Amino acid sequence: MNPMAQDPTDPKDIAARTLAYYERHAERFRAGTEGHDVSQNIAALLRHIEGNPPFRILDIGCGPGRDLKTFTSLGHIAIGLEGSAQFAAMARDSTSCEVWQQDFLQLNLPDHHFDGLFANASLFHVPSSALPGVLRQLHATLKPRGVLFSSNPRGNNEEGWNADRYGVYHDLDGWRRYLSAARFEELEHYYRPTDLPRDQQPWLATVWRALPARA
């Protein structure tokens, strides 16, 4: 089925259309993001993980593999999670890392497996109606007291299409409600790029610790 002909409000159709966008523009996206510096975000995740490295990290929406390379170079065990077949292939070809091709809405993740989850510019693509379920699955794949990092383009909790990509533009309070409901405790947040006025900082970065699931 042509993604453009699908129901624009159904979460599975939203995911299919968004992934189709990345399939069409994979090479352009790789070239445009290869030089992005997200070292601040990587450091924010790693400094909150308890225990001794190397850490087992899942890069959620790893794209062409840029950040997998960084985690590996720092001595950690990094696995990619990517819905786009082209991105998954690029990441496998350019890194020594395992990459799982999975749609965020059809996750199949091992329980209590990862020390940290790195979701850089990825979870905002999950429709708000599907986000609680996705967050529960991410919580379940973390080890006890594991850490989730996320960075999303911020807004006023609106959601919809930007060209052929779907996005939800959370503000801090809105994002906090979702994560708290999924049994995460906030560790820190900041806005990016640094050293600019708030109205010139479109990215909201947050770091969370997984609390025990309710009985």
198 sits in the region (left: phi over 0; alpha: psi -120 to 50; else beta) called alpha
Asked whether the beta carbons of 135 and 182 are under 8 A apart, the reply is yes
Q: How much is the pLDDT for 215? A: 61
Asked whether the beta carbons of 115 and 49 are under 8 A apart, the reply is yes
Two structure tokens written together for 53: 């490295």
Instruction: Parse the chain into domains and list their residue ranges.
Output: 3-210
Q: How much is the pLDDT for 2? A: 36
Residues facing residue 78 across a β-bridge: 57
pLDDT in tens, the chain (215 residues): 333 334 457 999 999 999 999 999 999 989 988 888 999 999 999 999 999 999 999 999 999 999 999 999 999 999 999 999 999 999 999 998 999 999 999 999 999 999 999 999 999 999 999 999 999 999 999 999 999 999 999 999 999 999 899 999 999 999 999 999 999 999 999 999 999 999 999 999 999 999 998 76
Nearest to 58 by CA among 141, 175, 179: 141
Nearest to 206 by CA among 153, 145, 141, 160: 153
- Tell me, which fold does domain 3-210 have in CATH? Rossmann fold (3.40.50)
Asked whether the beta carbons of 168 and 126 are under 8 A apart, the reply is yes
